[in-house]
Structure 1
């Protein structure tokens, strides 16, 4: 397997493992480190959904500032509470929910009056649980459903005389890190004791139906309420305070309650008085009264219009936590380009659309979980790819530099830009120049390999410098000689002139180099140069794993043979008449020495004669 594929496979496996671990933890309950993000995103989705009109099921009778002024104080005297309950009771409500804790005894007359009112009307009282933390979190990993309900240290229950006159339920709600009520637990436990919630008790009293606990839901008669882990019912607020119809309790004391708002409704009595402290921040109102939070949960239980977040929804969250990061990382590995980023953005937008649409339909899919599952792997994978790309770029730069050393610079640049350069042979005009050291074979036998290597290095450096300066391309070094082309990678009209310049410069440099060698070495060697201009076939020769860019054809063969002509005539350079004509016989390079010709000469391996010119240094 290729390394990029293996790296991608490892990244996808790690990404899936990360998403799966988060998803499994999410199945057991909320994850603390993403709870705050989920709260913020849930508030945002609530706000995007806007206000909703609640079903006409619940009426709030608020103990507000006006009520406390009429009663003379707050908290209200028990006798005053009794009057309010009696005024409501005569109008025929389905049930009355008193969201007021009656845990301490009051004056006897007031308590007696309240007890009698409770016996005359179907009233549900509020109890409260004391928890070790302000937020009631389900932390038990037991598979027994009832073991996962919020566990209180103790319950604060109404006075026995009131508890005997009415039923009661626990009124606590569960908030998130922002303090927003996010769930209403349907059940609470304290030790071995299980107690129903205030909202559940109110709905049971109003409908006259028994409640049944099932593994993932609460049944009220034939009506099922899907619940989250630990029998938590998610809340979906309708709007700011007053969205659920609210009437001042002072109207009950003044005998002005509207019958249409009370009859056949559930009436919730609770405090909205300034400074009462029972308020919560919500997406629509920073100080929503607690009595409206409770009224919202009661409405959800009856109407079934709350959010659905049960085990099935959490499984969908798990699938998104695994699937979304896999798709994103897969796309990043497949197309690391603008198209790939656009595709990733498209996938994320599709997921967002699905998430928001589901929320509007009452299905609470987690938004923070897929984000937490996707962002770290995507960032780490992207950073790893950038690091690997940087390493590849460094390696390619090193290879390019090495290629420049091995291959002619112009040819290396063309190969880098066009990998198919000369994959198909090309016929074109070019000048071919050959240079060779005379007597090198005998010398190398005498001076040994180390000295030979040093000698050849000096020769190669000399040839490379002069050819590069003249714009030629060394297609190969052949032992003690070199083949040079002018016309690769692209032919130009000046190729013959540049070849002529190169021949003369090579001759001058070779004379200077030979003069710098020890006398015993310099006296045994010389040099010869042959040059010709004509049509060549430029191509790659060799198998697919090892190829060499070179030129073939009669022009190349003639240039090579002209070195023998130069050596036979004791000249520095043998130049074909074709090259001299193309460069111009009055060409400046040849004015620096003696140019002799034209001479008709035979070339080994070629029929007929060839017109050449000989050049000797002055």
Structure 2
């Protein structure tokens, strides 16, 4: 049985491991994991004040009119006003094709004279069916169809401005460089953020960091600021002289849309509000400046870690008590999440959903299994107890959960009843076996129902005799009187059915009953594979001796029993009689009637007052 249990546990652990590994490796719940990583990993760390934004905002639109009608000379004025103060200027603006020759010429001259400008280009993507180096087909959603360059491309550096949202529309990563061999041979093209960063490093003599990229050539963006965090100055304020351009000294200046109507906003992981594209470029640049470019950990190692954590949680919750497994599961879940956050801070990103999710699932599954097993065991115990204890008492105990089985024995004060059928042996010799069984079952049914009706515990049948105890295995109010009343019910019931069997078989039998009370050892007695719940000791032996001395239809009770119930019974003193096995005789009474009722603990308390 133990080996079977071990094999079952190994199989279950293997299933858990395989399920978690596969789910994590293939990132089955990518969207949910991404949202969770957004909440845990994308926390603001403070913006870099060297990054500033010239905002084409609502104020600028009111002053200069509809955006699409502007002369490129406006952008030339921005570059000329900034002069040589910034270390780099990024123009997140679409300036493609000829518009007005004077404005276009002014923009080209401003870019050429500044030498600090990165102008925005735009990549037209399409989906294309391709095969990888192993010949496996796939759909490339970022197949470059065309790269459109700004009109000032010959006079400045260019960088593409495209944002690359995930399938759920959130921008979490960005291409820093792209290439299109079919169109441009070996030439590669940098993003606006990357080209601006490298220009800044060149002009300030700063050593450029080498960003780490994922397998798809993307940089994962570690957002430093939320929408609106970066310092932004209205374009109008710069051009009308309200702002001194010296505040941009040695800074990175980004010029871009900052009005909702310009439709350059994207969903980002660190805010429910959308972020302007120019702010996304600012966050990418700060990530490069800070060296905060986290990359996904190896998928196999991440999946192995998640699977191992889930299996450990499964084993702990399976073999530990709930009060132990619950805090351990909570600590393990919190520790895994904390480890993920720490790893992300050091540049390594792991899926954060799978291990905690399956640790909790394993805990809940084992918790449910334990409750189910306890419920089944409880039903078994309840069904078994109903054979020995009054069913209504068992139901009450099962409902309240107040009783706990105690292995071994305990010393309890109890009342013990023995009842035996008188004349059973000679009767059985003169009747058919079926008739004997019919009579025996009828009388044993009477004794059992009488015991249960008074809240007693049926200890055992001994041939044609029955043993019952009261106040064990659980506390029972007025248990001594209950035992005496049971004895009287048995004798009275026997008298009632005696005539029935006399008419049916021409034979009848009656009972002899003995009742005693005192301390006895009660509990599960036997060996590890066979035990009985019973009572042993002198109190039990005395009750058995009283029964053996009782005549037909007689109930003998001890002095100890009489002293407890004498105000609610009628009895005739028999006197002291010798009992087998005892050196001293026992004073006994013959029960002749019941005059009182069972008292509950509450009634006893009221009478005492």
TM-score of the superposed pair, with normalisation by structure 2: 0.74
Q: Does the 8 Å contact 2:111/2:156 carry over to 1?
A: yes
Deviation (angstroms), 1:386: 2.7
Residue among 194, 199, 214 paired with 1:200 = 194
Change (3 A) 1:34 1:199: same
Q: Does the CA-based 8 Å contact 2:333-2:359 persist in structure 1?
A: no
Instruction: Encode CA deviations 1:253-273: one digit per residue, 9 max, x unaligned.
Output: x68884534554444343446
Partner of 2:176: 186
Which position in structure 2 is the counterpart of 1:217?
none
Match of 2:263 in 1: 277
2:531 to 541, 544, 547: 547
Mapped partners of 2:558, 2:196: distance in 1:
115
For the residue of structure 2 that corresponds to 1:378, the secondary structure is helix
Q: What residue number does 1:129 align with?
A: 123
Distance 1:62 1:559 in 2: 102
Find the counterpart in structure 2 of residue 290 from structure 1: 277
Task: Output the CA distance in 1 between the equivalents of 2:365 and 2:347.
Answer: 35
- The aligned residue for residue 31 of structure 1 is 30
Aligned pair 1:105/2:98, yes or no? yes
1:463 Cα shift?
Answer: 0.8
Instruction: Measure, in 2, the Cα distance between the counterparts of 1:487 and 1:79.
Output: 103
Aligned-pair CA distance for 1:486: 5.5
Q: Residue 283 of structure 2 aligns to a residue in which SS?
A: helix
2:556 matched residue in structure 1: 575
- Residue of structure 2 equivalent to 1:166: 156
Task: Identify which of 146, 150, 158 aligns with 1:155.
Answer: 146
Change (3 A) 1:501 1:522: farther
**Cα pair distance change 1:162/1:349, threshold 3 Å:** same
Aligned counterpart for 1:476 among listed residues 448, 456, 460: 460
Partners of 1:508 and 1:553 lie apart in 2 by 29
- Offset at residue 475 of structure 1 (A): 2.5
Post-superposition offset of 1:6: 6.9
Matches for 1:193-342 after TM superposition, within 5 Å: 194-208=188-202, 223-233=209-219, 234-241=221-228, 243-244=230-231, 246=233, 248=235, 251=238, 258=244, 260-262=246-248, 264-272=250-258, 275-281=261-267, 283=270, 286=273, 288-301=275-288, 303-306=289-292, 308-312=293-297, 318=303, 321-322=306-307, 325-326=310-311, 329=314, 332-333=317-318, 337=322, 340-342=325-327
Task: Say which SS state the counterpart of residue 143 (structure 2) adopts.
Answer: coil
- Name the counterpart of 1:399: 381
Q: Bigger CA drift: 116-125 or 167-176?
A: 116-125
Corresponding residue for residue 213 of structure 1: none
Q: CA deviation at 1:97?
A: 3.1
Equivalent residue for 1:447?
432
Contact residue 115 and residue 162 of structure 1 kept, 8 A = yes
- Unmatched runs of 5 consecutive residues or more in structure 2: 594-609
Closer, same or farther: CA 92–561 of 1 in aligned 2, 3 Å: closer
In the aligned structure 1, how far is the partner of 2:509 from the partner of 2:71? Answer: 126
Q: CA deviation at 1:239?
A: 4.6
Q: CA deviation at 1:430?
A: 4.8
**C-alpha distance 167-447 of structure 1, shift in aligned 2 (>3 A):** same
Aligned to 1:505: 489
Tell me the SS of whatever aligns to 2:284: helix
Counterparts of 2:306 and 2:56 in 1: how far apart (Å)?
46
State the partner residue of 2:503.
Answer: 519
Kindly state the Cα deviation for residue 196 of structure 1 after the two structures are TM-superposed. 2.2
State the 1:581 CA deviation: 5.8
- More moved, 106-115 vs 222-231: 106-115
Question: Which residue is equivalent to 2:403?
Answer: 417
Match among 451, 468, 476 for residue 467 of structure 1? 451
* Whole-Å separation in 2 of the counterparts to 1:66 and 1:530: 107
- 1:588: which partner in 2? 569
Q: Quick one: structure 1 residues 95 and 582, their matched pair in 2 at CA, closer, same or farther if it must change by over 3 Å?
A: closer
Matching residue of 1:374: 356
Structure 1 residue 186, shift from structure 2 partner? 0.8
The answer as to whether partners of 2:329 and 2:359 remain within 8 angstroms in 1 is no
- In structure 2, the CA distance between the partners of 1:272 and 1:479, relative to structure 1 (3 Å rule), is closer
Q: Deviations over 1:274-311 (max 9, x none)?
A: 7332234555694644233323323433x2254x3214
How many aligned residue pairs are there?
574
Judge conservation of contact 1:170–1:188 (CA < 8 Å) in 2: no
Q: Secondary structure at the match of 2:93?
A: strand
Provide the alpha-carbon RMSD of the alignment.
4.9
Residue 462 of structure 1, CA deviation: 0.6
Deviation at 1:66, TM superposition (A): 6.2
Say if 1:229 and 1:310, in contact at 8 Å, map to a contact too.
no
State TM-score, norm by structure 1: 0.73
**C-alpha displacement of 1:582:** 4.1
Kept in 2, the 8 Å contact 1:325–1:370? The answer is no
Q: Are the counterparts in 2 of residues 536 and 556 from structure 1 also a CA contact under 8 Å? A: no
**What are the ranges of 5 or more consecutive residues in structure 1 without an aligned counterpart?**
210-219
1:476, distance to aligned residue in structure 2 (A): 1.9
Map Cα deviations across residues 507-561 of structure 1 (whole Å, 9 max, x no partner).
Answer: 33222222111536342x4234152647674345432322234445566556545
Deviations 1:214-262 (A, max 9, x none): xxxxxx976322233423231414354372454627745x688845345
Q: 1:388, CA displacement in angstroms?
A: 5.3
The answer for the alignment partner of 2:599 in structure 1 is none
Give the secondary structure class of the aligned counterpart of 2:149.
coil
CA–CA distance in structure 2, aligned partners of residues 164 and 364 of structure 1: 39
